[in-house]
Amino acid sequence: MKLGKVEFCHLLQIIALFLCLSGMNQAEPSRSRSKPYFQSGRTRTKRSWVWNQFFVLEEYMGSDPLYVGKLHSDVDKGDGSIKYILSGEGASSIFIIDENTGDIHATKRLDREEQAYYTLRAQALDRLTNKPVEPESEFVIKIQDINDNEPKFLDGPYTAGVPEMSPVGTSVVQVTATDADDPTYGNSARVVYSILQGQPYFSVEPKTGIIKTALPNMDREAKDQYLLVIQAKDMVGQNGGLSGTTSVTVTLTDVNDNPPRFPRRSYQYNVPESLPVASVVARIKAADADVGPNAEMEYKIVDGDGLGVFKISVDKDTQEGIITIQKELDFEAKTSYTLRIEAANMHVDPRFLSLGPFSDMTTVKIIVEDVDEPPVFTSRLYSMVVSEAAKVGTIIGTVAAHDPDASNSPVRYSIDRNTDLERYFNIDANSGVITTAKSLDRETNAVHNITVLAMESQNPAQIGRGYVAITILDINDNAPEFAMEYETTVCENAQPGQIIQKISAIDKDDPPNGHQFYFSLTAEAANNHNFTLQDNKDNTATVLTRRNGFRRQEQSVFYLPIFIVDSGSPSLSSTNTLTIRVCDCDADGIAQTCNAEAYILPAGLSTGALIAILACVLTLL
């Protein structure tokens, strides 16, 4: 008759219990021969306890209390005069003692994993006097382990990684299972490991739980992840042992074992000639089954007739080669270009050089398409000059543009009036000759920047733009004049030859060699007896007094006409007037008052009247 797993475990428990009780019963006689002595009254006698360390199986499931052992004393004659008492851990709540016989029973199910042993104290008392007949002694009840706990993977489930193409026996990860049973008793906690799922790719060492690769050349590009199921079984893996499982997810990490390869040997792209510089012409990509840094590539143009016209760079995100324009394309000059492009891995693993080479070549042909281009001027900027004295209709210069297309359509010219709002210039629509349309003034605008438009006759929407800078040449058409409105003073006590003012001049013209001004008094003022003028020969002049003393009562203001001539050809001149006021000055020559009327006020005015007049003047000011 076959026993199930549960029935087999119960049978083992009953056999172990039977052996344990038999052993204790057989040990009782020997225990009484080796006990220490205790003092009872005045007489020293041999201690008569018959007991020792007890054992009891855990997880007892019977309906009756479980017999643990028996306490007995030689003092006990079996006449009921001795009673036994029990104290300590679990006394009364778990363990009970028959006070007459000394039999100890366990009343509750015990679990070694919760508490492995109990320390108790036993004592024999005289039933009549309730006094001890022997000293109290301590003993231990040990809970004997059974295999009631399966191994557990406390850190599971596991994840791990191992490089693809690793050799057989490469360590991946170590798994560990723990068993709560007693490791010092039997095989209940002795665990062995086995692999239930994941063969033949991986294996596990039975004693250590180290998972290793079991097949060579595992390719991530073929399969990058494996799910393993690992079993831990106690009882050294024997039948009847308990087991636990965990999962291990193993990911193959990438190595650079795949060289880049272009899907095609040649590519062709069409681009319009009007495509701006730095525009993207095409994107090409070499396929690489690796990932991350192992798939990083660099591209370069190694040959072809477009080395200086195109360049290639790599898109770091997509690992594509980006072909861009470096120079303007011209269909009329060249209609196609051929490039030889190489793609190569940036990080090559020397272990896999035999799988190489880790680079590849392809050919890219770029066809330039013709587009209807606007007219092109012969120069990006035209510089012209014209005198400000030029008459209306004077020719200034000529611009020229042509249609770069094969049709070479005729071109018509016009001026962008947004750049010539005053309409100073005209242009001949057919010849491109620019002429003056109005009188010019350099002092108003020295340089005119205009835009000339060139339109195809057959397609007016195609417009080219040329830029013209017209510089106006100066002529001497402005007379010199005072640099500012001069007004000065002279003290009544001034001496002859005293400087009262220094003057300078300006001229709106701009002669090539700079200005040279000449100063003098006008003919009617040349012989006056009050002031004279001295030309300093540096475009300044000095006004000086000519006589001794001035009187405000006689004349309070003088007007001195000064003649200024420039060095132009022909020269121009102007007469400017210097106003000179006569003032009362202090000892340092600083003017105090220049009001002539202050001397002719009526003498009969009181101080109050003077204050009132002054207040009125201040109010008016």
Q: What is the pLDDT of residues 494-512, one digit of tens each?
A: 899 999 999 999 988 888 7
CATH topology identical between 376-473 and 481-593: yes
| Pairing of β 117-126 and β 82-88 | antiparallel
Q: What is the pLDDT of residues 186-198, one digit of tens each?
A: 787 889 999 999 9
Q: What's the half-sphere exposure (Cβ side, CA atoms, 13 Å) at 20? A: 22
What residues pair up with 467 in beta bridges, in sequence order?
381, 451
In this prediction, what percent of the chain has a pLDDT beyond 90? 49
Which tokens is 394 given?
């004077």
Comparing CA positions, the residue from 52, 47, 46 lying closest to residue 30 is 52
Those residues whose C-beta lies under 8 Å from the C-beta of residue 267, and which sit 6 or more positions away, are 282, 284, 362, 363, 364, 365
What's the rounded Cα separation, in Å, for the pair 407 and 410? 9
Residue-by-residue DSSP string for 206-265: TTT-EEEE-SS---TTT--EEEEEEEEESGGG-TT--EEEEEEEEEEEP-S-S--B-S-S
Residue 45 clears pLDDT 50, i.e. is over it? no
Mean pLDDT, the chain, rounded, equals 84
Centre a 10 Å sphere on the Cβ of residue 338 and count the other Cβ atoms it contains: 14
SS (H, E, C) 49-64: EECCCEEEECCCCCCC
For CA atoms 410, 416, 417, 421, give the dihedral sign.
negative
Q: What is the pLDDT of residue 609?
A: 59
Q: What is the pLDDT of residue 165?
A: 92
In 390-482, the DSSP E strands lie at 395-398, 401-402, 411-415, 425-427, 433-436, 447-456, 463-473, 481-482
**What values do phi and psi take at 21, rounded to 5?**
-65, -40
What's the rounded Cα separation, in Å, for the pair 56 and 91? 15
3-class state of residue 7 by DSSP: helix
Centre a 10 Å sphere on the Cβ of residue 167 and count the other Cβ atoms it contains: 8
Residue 6 clears pLDDT 50, i.e. is over it? no
For CA atoms 422, 424, 426, 432, give the dihedral sign.
negative
Cα angle value 313/316/320 (rounded, 5°): 55
Distances (CA, A) of 120 to 30, 76, 402: 21, 21, 119
Q: What is the pLDDT of residues 323-371, one digit of tens each?
A: 999 999 988 889 999 999 999 999 998 888 888 789 999 999 999 998 8
Confidence of residue 52 (pLDDT cuts 50, 70, 90): low
3-class state of residue 352 by DSSP: helix
Cα angle value 52/56/58 (rounded, 5°): 155
Q: What is the mean pLDDT of residues 502-530?
A: 88
Q: What is the pLDDT of residue 24?
A: 37
Q: What is the pLDDT of residues 535-579, one digit of tens each?
A: 999 999 999 999 988 998 889 999 999 999 988 888 889 999 999
3-class state of residue 492 by DSSP: coil
Cα angle value 502/506/509 (rounded, 5°): 160
Q: What is the mean pLDDT of residues 517-525?
A: 91
Please give the residue that has the higher pLDDT: either 40 or 582. 582
Q: What is the pLDDT of residue 588?
A: 82
3-class state of residue 355 by DSSP: helix
Q: What is the pLDDT of residue 537?
A: 92
Those residues whose C-beta lies under 8 Å from the C-beta of residue 84, and which sit 6 or more positions away, are 71, 97, 98, 99, 100, 101, 102, 122, 123, 124, 125
Cα angle value 464/465/467 (rounded, 5°): 155
Which tokens is 18 given?
């039977």
Q: What is the pLDDT of residues 245-284, one digit of tens each?
A: 999 999 999 999 999 999 999 999 999 998 999 999 999 9
Residue 32 clears pLDDT 90, i.e. is over it? no
| One CATH from 2.60.40.60, 3.40.50.360, 3.40.1450.10, 3.40.50.2300 for 266-369 | 2.60.40.60
Query: Which CATH number is 53-144 given?
Result: 2.60.40.60
Query: What is the helix (H) or strand (E) element at residue 8, kind and residue range?
Result: helix 5-31
For CA atoms 249, 253, 259, 260, give the dihedral sign.
positive
Residue 215 clears pLDDT 90, i.e. is over it? yes
What's the rounded Cα separation, in Å, for the pair 117 and 143? 6
Q: What is the pLDDT of residues 411-465, one digit of tens each?
A: 999 999 999 999 999 999 999 999 999 999 888 898 999 999 999 988 888 899 9
The CATH architecture one would assign to domain 152-253 is Sandwich (2.60)
What's the rounded Cα separation, in Å, for the pair 416 and 86? 121
Residue 482 clears pLDDT 90, i.e. is over it? yes
Please, what's the largest Cα pairwise distance for the chain?
A: 174
Query: Which CATH number is 376-473 given?
Result: 2.60.40.60
Residue 3 clears pLDDT 80, i.e. is over it? no
What's the rounded Cα separation, in Å, for the pair 424 and 297? 61
Q: What is the pLDDT of residues 273-316, one digit of tens each?
A: 989 999 999 999 999 999 999 999 999 999 999 999 999 999 99
Highest mean pLDDT among 101-105, 162-166, 240-244, 401-405: 162-166
Burial 176-208, CB ≥16 within 10 A → b, else e = bbbbbbbeeebebbbbbbebeebeeebbbebee
Decide: 419 and 451 in contact? Cβ < 8 Å: yes
Full-model pTM: 0.50
For the chain, domain boundaries: 53-144, 152-253, 266-369, 376-473, 481-593
Distances (CA, A) of 93 to 87, 104, 105, 119, 415: 10, 12, 11, 14, 117
What's the rounded Cα separation, in Å, for the pair 300 and 537? 73
Confidence of residue 73 (pLDDT cuts 50, 70, 90): confident
3-class state of residue 491 by DSSP: strand
Q: Is the peptide bond before 357 cis (omega within 30 degrees of 0)?
A: yes
What residues pair up with 81 in beta bridges, in sequence order?
none
3-class state of residue 2 by DSSP: coil
Decide: 557 and 532 in contact? Cβ < 8 Å: no
Q: What is the pLDDT of residue 605?
A: 47
Least confident of 84-98, 177-191, 454-468: 177-191
Decide: 425 and 450 in contact? Cβ < 8 Å: yes
Q: What is the mean pLDDT of residues 82-93?
A: 87
Q: What is the pLDDT of residues 573-613, one digit of tens each?
A: 999 999 999 999 888 888 888 875 444 334 344 556 567 78
Centre a 10 Å sphere on the Cβ of residue 580 and count the other Cβ atoms it contains: 22
- Top-level class of domain 481-593: mainly beta
Confidence of residue 16 (pLDDT cuts 50, 70, 90): very low
In this prediction, what percent of the chain has a pLDDT beyond 70? 89
